[in-house]
């Protein structure tokens, strides 16, 4: 690594850096991250900004420290926005065939959605856009199970306010274990009770 290469990466980083800070930290904040997504021509409500946060090892959704940025862009082998977009687009395309890669991303999204210092992710909180119902369909390419699960959450109203990490992770396993009729689902298996309620709701809606 040459000084010139590092300087180029740092100059790229400073295009989006938050300089209006009292703590002296070198980081890209939410506003700078949105500008970066705009430069990459990404819909801020699409899957790509979430993947970008993940690949840049963001400490929070849309907050990237300099050290993480420097390490990540070197690992991806990119030096400008065009290369970064190609890298992120390539990761999204790989999700269809590389289930291990996708699982790593899916699990990380939980960390981005949960409020700081909490262990649960909120189903819906008016003051936070980062909650389960709008995000799940986006990160799962509108897979039928996740779409129906969001419908189920909406039908429950305030009865379900949050999900645990285990529930979040096992929901992905459930999507690979049942078809749209839920005919292979069994309450005797070790699924969370929330999924039993989901199953009952699907059955009552006439899926079987």
Question: CB under 8 Å to 147, separation ≥6 — which residues?
Answer: 137
Predicted TM-score of the model (pTM)? 0.90
* Cα-based torsion angle of the residue sequence 33, 90, 133, 58 in order, rounded to the nearest 10 degrees: -40
- Evaluate if residue 128 carries a pLDDT over 60: no
Mean pLDDT of 132-153: 93
Predicted local distance difference test score (pLDDT) of residue 121 = 85
The ranges assigned to domains in the chain are: 3-94, 99-204
Q: What angle do CA 46, 58, 141 make, to 5 degrees?
A: 25
**50 touches 61 (CB < 8 A):** yes
Q: Homologous superfamily of 99-204 in CATH?
A: Cullin, PONY binding domain (1.10.238.200)
Least confident of 73-77, 143-147, 173-177, 202-206: 202-206
At 67, the pLDDT band (50, 70, 90 cuts) reads very high
Phi and psi angles of residue 123, each rounded to the nearest 5 degrees, phi first? -70, -45
Q: In the chain, which residue ranges form alpha helices assigned H by DSSP?
A: 3-14, 30-39, 48-55, 66-76, 81-94, 99-113, 132-139, 144-156, 165-175, 193-204
Rounded-to-integer distance, Cα 95 and Cα 104, Å: 10
Phi and psi angles of residue 97, each rounded to the nearest 5 degrees, phi first? -110, -25
Rounded-to-integer distance, Cα 112 and Cα 57, Å: 11
Rounded-to-integer distance, Cα 150 and Cα 168, Å: 12
- Tell me, rounded to whole angstroms, the distance of Cα 22 from its chain centroid: 29
Structure tokens that stand for 31 in this block:
């506003």
Predicted local distance difference test score (pLDDT) of residue 18 = 93
b (16+ CB within 10 A) / e for 156-193:
eeeebebbeeebbebbbebeeebeeebeebeeeeebee
Please write the tens of the pLDDT for every residue from 73-82: 999 999 999 9
3-94: which CATH number, 1.10.10.10, 1.10.238.10, 2.40.160.20, 3.90.1200.10?
Answer: 1.10.238.10
- Evaluate if residue 129 carries a pLDDT over 70: no
Confirm whether 3-94 and 99-204 share one CATH topology. yes
Bridge partners of residue 64, in order along the sequence = 28
Structure tokens that stand for 159 in this block:
């009865």
């Amino acid at each position: 690594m040459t000084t010139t290469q590092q300087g180029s990466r740092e100059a790229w980083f400073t295009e989006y850096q938050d300089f209006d800070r009292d703590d002296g930290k070198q980081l890209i904040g939410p506003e700078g991250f949105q500008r970066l997504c705009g430069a990459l021509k990404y819909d801020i409500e699409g899957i790509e900004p979430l993947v970008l946060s993940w690949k840049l090892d963001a400490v929070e959704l849309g907050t990237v420290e300099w050290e993480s940025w420097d390490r990540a862009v070197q690992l991806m082998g990119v030096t400008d926005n065009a290369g970064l977009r190609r890298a992120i687009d390539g990761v999204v395309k790989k999700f269809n065939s590389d289930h291990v890669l996708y699982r790593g991303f899916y699990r990380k999204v939980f960390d981005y959605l949960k409020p700081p210092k909490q262990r649960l992710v909120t189903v819906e909180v008016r003051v936070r856009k980062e909650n389960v119902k709008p995000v799940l369909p986006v990160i799962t390419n509108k897979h039928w199970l996740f779409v129906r699960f969001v419908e189920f959450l909406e039908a429950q109203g305030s009865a379900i306010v949050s999900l645990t990490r285990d529930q979040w992770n096992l929901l992905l396993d459930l999507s690979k274990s049942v078809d749209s009729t839920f005919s292979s689902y069994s309450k005797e298996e070790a699924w969370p009770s929330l999924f039993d309620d989901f199953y009952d709701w699907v059955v009552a809606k006439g899926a079987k």
